[in-house]
Structure 1
Amino acid sequence: MDFNLNDEQRQIYEYGAQLAQRFDNAYWLDHARRHAFPQEMFSKIADDGFLGLMVPQEYGGAGLGMTEMALFMEGTANHGIPLLMMVVGPTMSLAHIANHGSEFQKKELLPRACRGEIQFCFAITEPGAGSNTIKARTLARQRGNRFSLSGEKTFITGADIADYCLVVARTKPHEEVKRKTDGFTLFAVDLKKNGVNKQRVKVSIPLPEEQWTLFFDEVDLGPEDVVGQVDEGFSILFDSLNPERIILAALCCGIGRFALNKGVAYASERIVFGQPIGAHQGVQHPMAKAYTAVEMASLMTRRAAWEFDSHLPAGASSNMAKYAAAEAGIEAVDAALQAHGGSGFTEDTGIYELYPLVRLLRTAPVNRELCLSFIGEKVMGLPRSY
């Protein structure tokens, strides 16, 4: 398997350096501290054609794949400008609609979303179900050829700035299906519809994107809002969930590199006891170890993306990439923070504020324990643990 990048892929990977000339980490950090979405930077990304990386050209996109989207995310995160809206919108929602959406969604919504005129978020998590999606209770009751959506979704990234939400709902209650995976349907829901309300979830992490709970109260939906086939949504759901793991693994790798680059620069200049602190193995080795972990996680992330693009089973690699990258990102930020000493905790440095983000990604959107359980059972053949 060749992980060498072609010219187009390398340009995508290096786009982060170009973007950072105008919208650097200081810009991102300012917005993160204020929980203010960086619309100007997002508009620039749209103008440069990156929102539609995974959308076919006939619908306004670039016609590329998961590999290129992961390279984009890793490349921007390398420069300290990660965007979670690129995860829930272009990666999870737009690509999914491109593969399974209705003609209305493909011809009307996708071109506008690729241009940045509208945004998408993604809703699967529920307060009572958490990671156990099978127990989801948000229900779209069918009435003729229309549906009435009622329920609650939580930890929805960017619901305040999104125009549409890709909602995972049941069209048959859990108690009425023969197989537990039956009765799921995905809908592209216009968040301006009657019956949609939202409430902010106050998360104590400096991020430009906020988290929300969405409430659906008999929201009227039509056949044009269905993504894929009614009652068969679970079979295509992992077309969104594996990319989510891959893209967030790429983000963690990039943030890890960004932190380590800052740590190396500081440790090379900071003189204590007559020599740079980076010459001491107590400072050098933790960063070297973290760097190795980041690079290994990056390779697994590219393997997972390649498998997904090649229509091969990508669950094992996606879970291994997500697990490895989150752990490597935490290790990298921690090593860089330790190398900075007390200055690492100052606002001027901006190192400490990266830690809550990578620590979050050990837990969300799928926690490391579920990743390890998947690897143990599905990859290694151990008995099911849950």
Structure 2
Amino acid sequence: MNFTEGEERRDLRAAVAALGRRYGHEYFTAKARAGEKTDELWADAGRLGYLGVAVPEEYGGGGGGIGDLAAVCEELAAAGCPLLLTVVSPAICATVIARFGTGEQKRRWLPGFAAGTTKMGFAITEPDAGSNAHRLTTTVRRDGDEWVLDGGKYYISGVDEVEAVLVVARHVAPGAPRGAGPGDRLRPSLMIVPTDAPGFTHRHIPMELVSPEKQFTCFFDDVRLPLDALVGAEDAGPAQLFAGLNPERIMAASFATGMARRALDLAGEYARTRTVWDTPIGAHQGVAHPLAQCAIQVELARLMTQKAAALYDAGEDRAAGEAANMAKYAAGEAVAGAVDQAIQVHGGNGLSSEYGLGAMLAASRLSRIAPVSREMILNFVAQHTLRLPRSY
């Protein structure tokens, strides 16, 4: 077993970290507060090949794995530029298309993912389904030479800046009632839906998050799509779906550990330089020990995330799913604790705009909720790892 990253991965981290520092937290926050996008950073990351590290080489990518893309996500977050759409567009959408797309779909979409010139959203969440994917009511049915999509999605990231959205819909047989009931067996279909498709509308959800990526409610009213909008089999089952959701969990964990590293860097610098009664406050165990505990939890979460990525890249889907959930849980807890403790170390300065920790508070707390809540992960581990009776 090898617990160290290879030279190429370390070089990638260093290069991405340098790019992140060149833009920095001030750039990111200013853009977010002004309601603007971080297009310059995204374009540079794409031009330098960082967004396409996991896209196959034949389509212009780096030919690496989800572990490489997770390293990109983590280093940008650690530099104060956490780009939420890296979790969605190159991780979920590009991965699903690379694994299950037709030759034409791969040629159409993957070069854009590799270059960072294409952004695609991902839509699974619904208001009444929550974490229960078996209760999805958005449906897709075939009508001659077209698919017809009906329903709605909730809390979908970046719809205002993507070219298309990969929508998870319940496949219904021809002639079945519109909006087939949630009691039916889940037969998920993955559909590429252009954001300018007739019948597709979206509405912004105001959030307290300081982020350039916005959240939206999406509505699909008789959206007609060509047959080649379908990615993979029309009712391939949850296995095809989780080919995208496991990378999402790995990326979300890296997003969280990157934020946690930044919070601890800020707290450490402040504790070394803030002097009270002629002594740096970091010399006191009441300050030092809580930060040390946070640092341990962050490193444990990073290690679990790297294990999950290695399992996924090795094709061990079942083991990767378990590890990805554990990594996501550990990272969510670690970042929430690290940001909270960093604010405490700063005292009143912890909520001042100068230090930027207050803006991280909501984002760090969100890591315990999305893209899958800590409670659902605990349910998963209890049922699948410990083989306990299902609790819901």
**Can you list the C-alpha shifts for 1:169-190, whole angstroms capped at 9, x where unaligned?**
1112785899723x21101111
Moved more, 142-151 or 372-381: 142-151
Asked if 2 retains the 8 angstrom alpha-carbon contact of 1:35 and 1:209, the reply is no
Counterpart check, 1:323 vs 2:322: no
SS for the counterpart of 1:333 is: helix
SS for the counterpart of 2:10 is: helix
Counterpart check, 1:238 vs 2:242: yes
Q: Which residue of 1 aligns with 2:359?
A: 353
SS for the counterpart of 1:167 is: strand
Identity %: 40
TM-aligned CA deviation for residue 269 of structure 1 = 0.7
Write the mapping of 1:170-185 to structure 2, written as runs, cut at 5 A: 170-172=170-172, 180-181=185-186, 183-185=187-189
Query: How far, CA to CA, are the matches of 2:254 and 2:118 in structure 1?
Result: 25
Counterpart check, 1:304 vs 2:308: yes
SS for the counterpart of 1:358 is: helix
Write the mapping of 1:137-286 to structure 2, written as runs, cut at 5 A: 137-172=137-172, 180-181=185-186, 183-286=187-290
TM-aligned CA deviation for residue 304 of structure 1 = 0.5
Asked if 2 retains the 8 angstrom alpha-carbon contact of 1:55 and 1:63, the reply is yes
* Cα distance change of structure 1 residues 325 and 177 upon mapping to structure 2, 3 Å threshold: closer
Query: How far, CA to CA, are the matches of 2:30 and 2:160 in structure 1?
Result: 19
- Could you tell me which amino acid in structure 2 is paired with residue 60 of structure 1? G
* Cα distance change of structure 1 residues 16 and 112 upon mapping to structure 2, 3 Å threshold: closer
- Runs of 4+ off more than 3 Å: 173-179
Moved more, 228-237 or 293-302: 228-237
Asked if 1 retains the 8 angstrom alpha-carbon contact of 2:31 and 2:212, the reply is yes
Q: Which residue of 1 aligns with 2:120?
A: 120
TM-aligned CA deviation for residue 31 of structure 1 = 1.8
Query: How far, CA to CA, are the matches of 1:177 and 1:352 in structure 2?
Result: 40
TM-aligned CA deviation for residue 233 of structure 1 = 4.5
* Cα distance change of structure 1 residues 145 and 281 upon mapping to structure 2, 3 Å threshold: same
SS for the counterpart of 1:154 is: strand
Query: How far, CA to CA, are the matches of 2:306 and 2:95 in structure 1?
Result: 18
**Can you list the C-alpha shifts for 1:153-175, whole angstroms capped at 9, x where unaligned?**
11000000000111001112785
Asked if 2 retains the 8 angstrom alpha-carbon contact of 1:36 and 1:208, the reply is yes
Query: How far, CA to CA, are the matches of 1:231 and 1:71 in structure 2?
Result: 33
* TM-score (ref. length: structure 2): 0.95
TM-aligned CA deviation for residue 35 of structure 1 = 3.5
Asked if 2 retains the 8 angstrom alpha-carbon contact of 1:16 and 1:79, the reply is no
SS for the counterpart of 2:367 is: helix
Query: How far, CA to CA, are the matches of 1:152 and 1:175 in structure 2?
Result: 14
- Could you tell me which amino acid in structure 2 is paired with residue 245 of structure 1? R
Q: Which residue of 1 aligns with 2:297?
A: 293
- Could you tell me which amino acid in structure 2 is paired with residue 85 of structure 1? L
Query: How far, CA to CA, are the matches of 1:250 and 1:337 in structure 2?
Result: 21
Q: Which residue of 1 aligns with 2:339?
A: 333
Q: Which residue of 2 aligns with 1:2?
A: 2
TM-aligned CA deviation for residue 347 of structure 1 = 0.5
Asked if 1 retains the 8 angstrom alpha-carbon contact of 2:55 and 2:94, the reply is yes
Query: How far, CA to CA, are the matches of 2:153 and 2:223 in structure 1?
Result: 14
SS for the counterpart of 1:160 is: helix
Moved more, 85-94 or 10-19: 10-19
TM-aligned CA deviation for residue 32 of structure 1 = 2.4
- Could you tell me which amino acid in structure 1 is paired with residue 385 of structure 2? V
- Could you tell me which amino acid in structure 2 is paired with residue 33 of structure 1? R
Gaps of 5+ in 1: none
Counterpart check, 1:49 vs 2:45: no
Moved more, 29-38 or 47-56: 29-38
SS for the counterpart of 2:23 is: coil
TM-aligned CA deviation for residue 283 of structure 1 = 0.7
Q: CA RMSD in A?
A: 1.6
SS for the counterpart of 2:141 is: strand
- Could you tell me which amino acid in structure 2 is paired with residue 327 of structure 1? E
TM-aligned CA deviation for residue 254 of structure 1 = 1.1
Moved more, 217-226 or 297-306: 217-226
Q: Which residue of 1 aligns with 2:93?
A: 93
- Could you tell me which amino acid in structure 2 is paired with residue 101 of structure 1? G
Asked if 2 retains the 8 angstrom alpha-carbon contact of 1:149 and 1:217, the reply is yes
* TM-score (ref. length: structure 1): 0.96
2:373 aligned residue (362, 367, 372): 367
